[in-house]
Amino acid sequence: MSNEGNSTSGCPLPLSDYPRILLAHGGGGELMHRLIEDLFIPSFANGELNERHDGAVLNIGGARLAFTTDSYVVKPLFFPGGDIGTLAVYGTVNDLAMCGAKPVCLSAGFILEEGVPMDTLRRVVDSMRGAARASGVRLVTGDTKVVDRGSGDGMFITTAGIGTVAEGVAVSPSKVRIGDVVLLSGDIGRHGIAIMAKREGLAFETAIESDCAPLHGIAGDLLAAGIGIRCMRDLTRGGLASAAIEIAETAGVCIALEAGAIPVREDVRGACELLGFDPLYVANEGRFIAFVSPGDADRALAVMRAAGPDDAHPARIGRVEEGRPRSVVLTNMVGTRRVISRLSGEQLPRIC
Amino acid sequence: MSNEGNSTSGCPLPLSDYPRILLAHGGGGELMHRLIEDLFIPSFANGELNERHDGAVLNIGGARLAFTTDSYVVKPLFFPGGDIGTLAVYGTVNDLAMCGAKPVCLSAGFILEEGVPMDTLRRVVDSMRGAARASGVRLVTGDTKVVDRGSGDGMFITTAGIGTVAEGVAVSPSKVRIGDVVLLSGDIGRHGIAIMAKREGLAFETAIESDCAPLHGIAGDLLAAGIGIRCMRDLTRGGLASAAIEIAETAGVCIALEAGAIPVREDVRGACELLGFDPLYVANEGRFIAFVSPGDADRALAVMRAAGPDDAHPARIGRVEEGRPRSVVLTNMVGTRRVISRLSGEQLPRIC
């Protein structure tokens, strides 16, 4: 973890104190937050960006649509449980699903480095085709650029996606309110550990595969069941902790989480200890949290269990309570409560 | 220009003869064409990709929309007349305009290299804001990734865009028919020469600035005037020649162009001679060709003159005729006709 510009308090350094981009500006922690808040949102000021959501929900030509984009720079390109192609499709499908949208179509922009094997590209394109089929989306438009050797790193992919949002569906951080229950769709940390293990050449007794998967099915089932969903957020860069902090700040609420209720597989926990990571901050690519009205929590959990993977183990992990607004409080196994903060440096560069 | 895998005939080598990605796979010429035809279109088979257009036109949630994406890897990031930010906004706005769409909103994915100066990012974001305002679009969603030093080259940007397409508007290569007149919206070659001059440190007596500009105004005026537009295509990578060849092949027609009618500024022509380029293949970022019904050609040219920049000099440069289908024939200044082909190598890497 970089110590440059370390800041663990609630009083971060302004963006202007960083004359150059650091890895942490893309890490999902404090510096990325500052980049978004101090540069992007003021520059492009509009209602959609102000929602600070995984995508924009807007009316275009009489249709209610969600629109989102993500660039993928994962290293290595292939990892246990997926590759940059599955990630590029599922990641964008999931951002649409988190907006309460039914994903419809994707675009893909490839930035290839001169010299990358054609078979590598073929394998990635095959993965994208399979992932698109599994997600029920069509890849309808694209672009390819090639950069000279040494100016890239094999392959970067940027996908954008459009989905339809049904009338009456309003899923967004600003809808979260006191009393809401926080549900987690499954155990955390597999994606980040799968990538780090592959990158570092670590071997574990049981193979840890990325949880990379589409979430539109579970999210769609929750909506179809008439669950009162306030907000959903997938737990990518920065993991569960960062997602919860973002939502607490946007909604202006206090989110209380129970460490003991958060499922982490034993092998993932062991790998985290070995690598010095806190699973709360490790990236996932097939997990999300949902904020639901208290009366719907049990039913929502049942839907998550029925619609999600068998080995995911969804759980109720906390609730929104009276307390210091814009904070996330974690109660640990022995009952001690502490406020958790954003990552100040970059723990897992190029995780997605 | 690379000689690897050279192929100047109409009988190119199959994709499988290239075990690795070459710069030319992103150059707008023969190899990029093969990549699209042999890999992307068969993999993601659907009606929108089959149209081989600048974007997809599709019905989503009851709305008729255009959707497009482009990645930008231009080197250097700043050049006379623009920068990667203006390019990233106008390029995607223009692809929407070429589909007959009114551009509405954009997404932006940034891939930043660790160490890039924060002020560089600020300048680019400022340019994007200005370009978005000039194009009447909002930038509503985005993403930032940072790659480690040496794994990128300062900054790559991928934008995607959504526009609305009015009922009755059907602008696409497949609509082109024999007898159509080919109009060019202005002089060609400025963008490519501006970039190459800056990159090579060349100084010309008069500064050559990129023609980088939004085209939605001219395209919108043509549609609003009720001109019978069959197809529009902006002249980016591979220039006028490559765009005409793509359309001739998709439409299955013969396009006859008059070299003497194609406007090229004297300084651009001189620079092309110096650098060994044919202006027909040099990239533009604010020029397009329109195929219109013969009876509308004069009126369309008048609209182009009224709506375009004062110094652009739109012109009638050819027509679609009986002749060898899927070919472009150029008549030179002394009346000799020759079939022109795609670039076989890469003339101007990282031009956009």
Round to whole Å and give the CA distance between A74 and A82. Answer: 11
* Among B residues 217-256, those touching chain A with beta carbons less than 8 Å apart: none
The whole model's pTM is what? 0.95
Write the residue in A35, A140, A148 that is nearest to B349 by C-beta: A148
Could you tell me if A148 lies within 8 Å of chain B, comparing CB atoms? Answer: yes
pLDDT at A7 over 80: no
CA-to-CA dists, residue B56 to A58, B100, B245, B287, angstroms: 19, 11, 20, 20
Could you tell me if B39 lies within 8 Å of chain A, comparing CB atoms? Answer: yes
For A225-232, what is the mean pLDDT?
96
Residue type, B296: D
Q: Which residues in chain B are contacts of A24 at CB distance < 8 A?
A: 146
Round to whole Å and give the CA distance between B245 and B237. Answer: 13
For B27-51, what is the mean pLDDT?
92
Average pLDDT score, chain B: 93
pLDDT at A206 over 80: no
Interface test with A, best of B2, B30, B71 (most A CBs within 10 A): B71
List where CATH 3.30.1330.10 sits in chain A.
46-165
List where CATH 3.30.1330.10 sits in chain B.
64-165
For B105-112, what is the mean pLDDT?
98
pLDDT band for position A16 (50/70/90)?
confident
Could you tell me if A288 lies within 8 Å of chain B, comparing CB atoms? Answer: no
- Please indicate whether, in this complex, the C-beta atoms of B61 and A56 are within 8 angstroms of each other: no
CA distance B85 to chain A (A): 13
CA distance A148 to chain B (A): 7
SS3 at position A329: strand
Average pLDDT score, chain A: 93
What is the predicted pLDDT for the residue at B206? 67
- Please indicate whether, in this complex, the C-beta atoms of A26 and B113 are within 8 angstroms of each other: no
pLDDT at B80 over 70: yes
pLDDT band for position B101 (50/70/90)?
very high
At residue B56, what are phi and psi to the nearest 5 degrees? -100, 140
Long-range contacts of A295-303 (CB under 8 A, 24+ apart): A295/A228, A296/A227, A296/A228, A297/A181, A297/A183, A299/A225, A299/A227, A300/A181, A300/A183, A300/A222, A300/A225, A300/A227, A300/A229, A301/A183, A303/A218, A303/A221, A303/A222, A303/A225, A303/A227
CATH of domain B64-165: 3.30.1330.10
Contact B158, B106 (CB under 8 A): no
pLDDT band for position A205 (50/70/90)?
low
Q: Which residues in chain A are contacts of B44 at CB distance < 8 A?
A: 125, 128-129, 132, 138-140, 142
- Please indicate whether, in this complex, the C-beta atoms of B46 and A138 are within 8 angstroms of each other: yes
- Greater confidence (A175 vs A46) lies with A175
Among A196-200, B165-169, B250-254, the least confident range: A196-200
pLDDT at A15 over 80: no
For B148-173, what is the mean pLDDT?
97
Cβ neighbours, 10 Å, residue A301: 20
- Please indicate whether, in this complex, the C-beta atoms of B121 and A68 are within 8 angstroms of each other: no
List where CATH 3.90.650.10 sits in chain B.
173-340
Could you tell me if B170 lies within 8 Å of chain A, comparing CB atoms? Answer: no
CA distance B324 to chain A (A): 29
Q: pLDDT of B283-306, one tens digit each?
A: 999 999 999 999 999 999 999 999
CA distance B266 to chain A (A): 30
Could you tell me if B19 lies within 8 Å of chain A, comparing CB atoms? Answer: yes
Tracing tokens 């609509």 back to the chain, one arrives at B175
Among B64-73, B224-233, B319-328, B339-348, the least confident range: B339-348
pLDDT band for position B52 (50/70/90)?
confident
pLDDT at B3 over 50: no
pLDDT at B2 over 80: no
Q: What percent of chain B has pLDDT over 90?
A: 87
User: In this predicted complex, what is the ipTM?
Assistant: 0.95
For A155-183, what is the mean pLDDT?
96
CA distance B133 to chain A (A): 10
Q: Which residues in chain A are contacts of B148 at CB distance < 8 A?
A: 23, 349-350
Q: pLDDT of A27-85, one tens digit each?
A: 999 999 999 999 999 999 888 888 888 899 999 999 999 999 999 999 999 999 999 99
* HEC letters along chain B: CCCCCCCCCCCCCCHHHCCECCHHHHCCCHHHHHHHHHHHHHHCCCHHHHCCCCCEEEEECCEEEEEEEEEECCCCCEECCEEHHHHHHHHHHHHHHHCCEEEEEEEEEEEEECCCEHHHHHHHHHHHHHHHHHHCCEEEEEEEEEECCCCCCCEEEEEEEEEEECCCCCCCHHHCCCCCEEEECCCCCHHHHHHHHHHHCCCCCCCCCCCCCCCHHHHHHHHHCCCCEEEEEECCCCHHHHHHHHHHHHHCCEEEEEHHHCCCCHHHHHHHHHHCCCHHHCCCCCCEEEEECHHHHHHHHHHHHHHCCCCCCCEEEEEEECCCCCEEEEECCCCCEEEECCCCCCCCCCCC
Round to whole Å and give the CA distance between A47 and A259. Answer: 35
What is the predicted pLDDT for the residue at A77? 98
Contact A194, A209 (CB under 8 A): yes
* Among B residues 75-114, those touching chain A with beta carbons less than 8 Å apart: 75, 104-105, 107-114
Among A12-21, A22-31, B134-143, the least confident range: A12-21
Please confirm whether the linkage preceding A76 is cis (ω < 30° from 0): yes
pLDDT band for position B7 (50/70/90)?
very low
- Please indicate whether, in this complex, the C-beta atoms of A67 and B145 are within 8 angstroms of each other: no
Q: pLDDT of A92-115, one tens digit each?
A: 999 999 999 999 999 999 999 999
Could you tell me if B116 lies within 8 Å of chain A, comparing CB atoms? Answer: yes
Task: CATH number for A173-340: choose from 3.40.50.1860, 3.40.190.10, 3.90.650.10, 3.30.70.1110.
Answer: 3.90.650.10
Among A297-311, B12-26, B333-347, the least confident range: B12-26
Please confirm whether the linkage preceding A173 is cis (ω < 30° from 0): no
pLDDT at B86 over 90: yes
pLDDT at A258 over 90: yes
A46-165 homologous superfamily: PurM-like, N-terminal domain (3.30.1330.10)
Q: Which residue of B has its CA nearest to A165?
A: B61
pLDDT at A125 over 80: yes
For B35-54, what is the mean pLDDT?
90
Q: How big is the A-B interface in CB pairs under 8 Å?
A: 286
Return the structure tokens found at B315: 């012109």
pLDDT at A9 over 90: no
What is the predicted pLDDT for the residue at B6? 37
Return the structure tokens found at B162: 């959504």
Q: Which residues in chain A are contacts of B52 at CB distance < 8 A?
A: none
pLDDT band for position B12 (50/70/90)?
low
SS3 at position A168: coil
Q: pLDDT of A139-164, one tens digit each?
A: 999 999 999 999 999 999 999 999 99
Among A42-46, A328-332, B242-246, the least confident range: A42-46
Residue type, B256: A
Write the residue in B44, B121, B164 that is nearest to A129 by C-beta: B44
pLDDT band for position B313 (50/70/90)?
very high
CA distance B111 to chain A (A): 7
Residue type, A212: C
For B311-320, what is the mean pLDDT?
97
pLDDT at B4 over 50: no
- Please indicate whether, in this complex, the C-beta atoms of B138 and A65 are within 8 angstroms of each other: no
CA-to-CA dists, residue B227 to A44, A62, B75, B261, B291, angstroms: 35, 26, 38, 22, 10
Round to whole Å and give the CA distance between B142 and B121. Answer: 14
Write the residue in A67, A69, A105 that is nearest to B58 by C-beta: A105
Q: Which residues in chain B are contacts of A132 at CB distance < 8 A?
A: 44
* In A6-81, alpha helices (H): 30-35, 41-43, 47-50
Write the residue in A15, A73, A140 that is nearest to B58 by C-beta: A140
CA distance A98 to chain B (A): 14
- Please indicate whether, in this complex, the C-beta atoms of B153 and A146 are within 8 angstroms of each other: no
Round to whole Å and give the CA distance between B231 and A51. Answer: 38
